[in-house]
Structure 1
Amino acid sequence: MTTPLILITDCDLPGDAAEQTLRAAGFRAERAPDTSFETLATLGAEAEGLIVQWHRIDGELMDRMPKLKMISRLGIGYDMVDVAAASERGIPVANTPSYCTEEVAAHTIAMIMAQARGLPAYDGAVRAGEWKPVAARPLAARPSRTTVSVLGFGRIGSLVARGCRALGFRVLVADPYASVDAVRAADCESVTIEHAIATADLLTLHVPLTDATRHLIDEAAIATMKPGAVIVNTCRGPLVDEDALVAGLRSGQIGAAALDVYEAEPLAASAALRAAPNVLLSPHAAWYSPEALEDLPVHAAENLIRFRDGESVPIVNPTYAAAR
């Protein structure tokens, strides 16, 4: 009996935990030496599963993998996989949504609080020799008088909403897939996306990147926001039109931003965001803790093991079964 092969297309994490987990469960595991189309197509011709981190997996590549039964994403977002093409071919796609939920929520709330209390500006002022506690920029918010709008009420968004509410903020939630009762149970208010954006003193994004959400925060959306509002993004970079954000920061329409993700990563040395005022930047690090680093490759491997064993897996395209 042939041992089924799992191909790891790309992975920039240290160690070989994914391979070890797969091999302990009876799979062969091979990591591609490069991500050229021919290399992946050749190695993947016998593969029954893929683990993918950043490389684009499209229908053309899937067609070169006739035995492929499942794709497991090494991370939460899955926009690097052509999910529609996978569904058409009867291939389920799974992500790893729980490996860093606490970390991203904590990072998000830290960014919200840093800008809500003007900490980056205070820090710069003290280092420059100023001592002006009443000159916070852009905000020195009292939580009970401040509205945080949370777009997306999934694992991370719901934790952020509850955390902000616990700190005393008024919290609005916009998520067409979340029940009003669930939002109300978190002591938050359910509103439309448009209302959430227009009403926010601080806006935080927790929605998947799709064609519909790409540049969700663009020039038109920014124009509807309160002058001086703050935007926080620890989710997916292309949710925000960075040119529009920079223009908003320079004009003062946007008071500040805190970003962990970007339209192109790593952020270019020449990126306008680096010189924009009142921006707090981190290097796509919201997910990180030593524990999350250990969990991520194992969770991605376990998706394939559990799928083989008929157990529940976080499938993002449940309609794949219709094509089988």
Structure 2
Amino acid sequence: LDGLTAEFVEKTLLTEDALIEQCRDADALMILREPITARVLAELKNLKVIGRFGVGLDSIDIEAASRAGVQVTYVPDANLVEVSTHAMALILALARRLKQFDGAVRAGRWAAMTDGAGITRPDRQILGLIGFGQIGRLTAERARVFGYHVIAYDPHMPAERITAGGAEPVGFDELLARADIVSLHVPATPETRNIMSAGALSRMKEGAILINVSRGGLVDEVALADLIRRRHLAGAGIDTFEQEPPSPDNPLLALDAVLVSPHAAHYSTQSYA
């Protein structure tokens, strides 16, 4: 802001009331996860522009912003490297049963090889990507280095472009049936909400793993926990929850086969620079 006659105020405001109270006179907002709802927009009479330093826009009511004449900007390549790397970290940690091995050693159980039952080489496994945008394609590139065969479902992308990105294009149901690991790389929209419903999760290959580094609301978390408890699914890596922070009684938090992180896939020193 050097050279501008502007006052810059930094605050964390995660509720509508806090935003309205603290930003009533703001001409511009730079946000990460603040809820910019129609109510907030209606109260911020001076607001002219919102800049989100991230990829997703689901925390902003875009239609309400348009009606109010407020311009919305974002950074589509802000954290592609971070999110795709985080996805691979969860995939490898779960596939190699690192959480179970770590717990066994800390509990004094060195002879714990049986805790890794089912571990399989990556070149014998299929990684299924739901969504093949920039992060999906970068995840595919990383996964192929380890030897995974990558298949992808993206109804908005031509099959030839998926092939050019190094993945085999397939339908949704075929992906669920074939993939040893299913990784979500889609935005939160009415179309994708609950895309991994109880029915979809039950159609996943027995012993498969689910990864979500995209958005909360894409996965039926109760059904996922139930299928892991019943050992239809081997585990899950979850960075985003429908309710954030998740309730302490969220059933996923009670499962050793679930690896979680606090919506941190986007973070690095560089992505926040």
* TM bracket, shorter-chain basis: 0.7 to 0.9
Which whole-Å CA distance do the structure 1 matches of 2:215 and 2:112 have between them?
A: 36
Q: Is residue 227 of structure 2 the alignment partner of residue 248 of structure 1?
A: yes
Q: Which residue of 1 aligns with 2:205?
A: 226
Q: When the two structures are superposed, what TM-score results if normalisation uses the length of structure 1?
A: 0.75
CA deviation profile, 1:223-248 (whole Å, cap 9, x unmatched): 11111110011121221121111111
* Alignment match, 1:63: 42
**2:137 is equivalent to residue 158 of structure 1:** yes
After TM superposition, list the pairs within 5 Å mapping 1:37-56 onto structure 2: 40-41=19-20, 44=23, 47-56=26-35
Report deviation, 1:197.
2.4
Give how far 1:193 is off. Answer: 2.7
Between Structure 1 and Structure 2, the one with more helix by share is 1
TM-score of the aligned structures, taking structure 2 as reference length: 0.87
Aligned positions, number = 272
| 1:307-322 pair list within 5 angstroms | none
5 Å-filtered alignment, 1:68-87, equals: 68-87=47-66
Q: Please give the alpha-carbon distance, in whole angstroms, between the structure 1 residues aligned to 2:270 and 2:120.
A: 33
Confirm whether residue 173 of structure 1 aligns to residue 152 of structure 2.
Answer: yes
Where do 5+ consecutive residues of structure 1 fail to align?
A: 1-21, 295-324
**In the alignment, what sits opposite 2:95?**
116
Q: Distance in 2 between matches of 1:40 and 1:78?
A: 17
Paired position in structure 2 for 1:131: 111
The answer to whether 1:105 aligns with 2:84 is: yes
Letter in 2 for 1:141: T
Q: Give the one of 174, 194, 198 matched to 1:195.
A: 174
- CA offsets per residue over residues 184-242 of structure 1, 9 Å max, x none? 12321112233222321101111101122222112111111111110011121221121
* Aligned residue in 2 for 1:5: none
Post-superposition offset of 1:41: 4.4
The answer to whether the 8 Å contact 2:126/2:181 transfers is yes
The 1:25/1:177 distance shift into structure 2, 3 A limit, reads farther
Q: Is the 8 A contact 1:165 1:188 kept in 2?
A: no
Q: Deviations over 1:121-157 (max 9, x none)?
A: 23333444142536514x4122222110111222221
Equivalent residue letter for 2:48: K
Q: CA offsets, 1:257-313, max 9 Å, x none? A: 11122222223333322212411122222222222222xxxxxxxxxxxxxxxxxxx
Match of 2:163 in 1: 184
Q: Secondary structure of the equivalent of 1:99?
A: coil
Higher relative contact order (CA 8 A, sep 6+): 1
Task: Give the unaligned 5+ runs of structure 2.
Answer: none
Alignment deviations for residues 48-95 of structure 1 (CA, whole Å, 9 cap, x no partner): 422223232122332334453322123322211112222344433222
CA separation of 1:173/1:90 partners in 2, compared to 1, >3 Å: closer, same or farther?
farther
Structure 2: which amino acid aligns with 1:201? Answer: D
Structure 1 residues 88 and 177: CA distance shift in structure 2, 3 A: farther
What is the alpha-carbon distance in structure 2 between the residues aligned to residue 125 and residue 42 of structure 1?
Answer: 50
Q: CA deviation at 1:44?
A: 5.0
- Measure, in 2, the Cα distance between the counterparts of 1:185 and 1:132: 42
1:217 and 2:196 equivalent? yes
Match for 1:62: what amino acid? Answer: L
| Counterpart Cα distance in 1 of 2:231 and 2:112 | 21
Identical amino acids, percent of aligned pairs = 34
Give the secondary structure class of the aligned counterpart of 1:280: strand
* TM-align CA RMSD: 2.5
* Structure index of larger Rg: 1
Q: 1:188 to 1:211 in 2, by over 3 A?
A: same
Residues 20-59 of structure 1 deviation map (CA, whole Å, 9 limit, x = unaligned): xx35455443446866756644765654422223232122
Alignment of 1:16-55 (within 5 A): 22-31=1-10, 40-41=19-20, 44=23, 47-55=26-34
CA distance in 2, matches of 1:200, 1:25: 53
Paired amino acid for 1:136: G
CA distance in 2, matches of 1:38, 1:136: 49
Is the partner of 1:292 in helix, strand or coil?
Answer: coil
Is the 2:194–2:219 Cα contact (8 Å) retained in structure 1?
yes
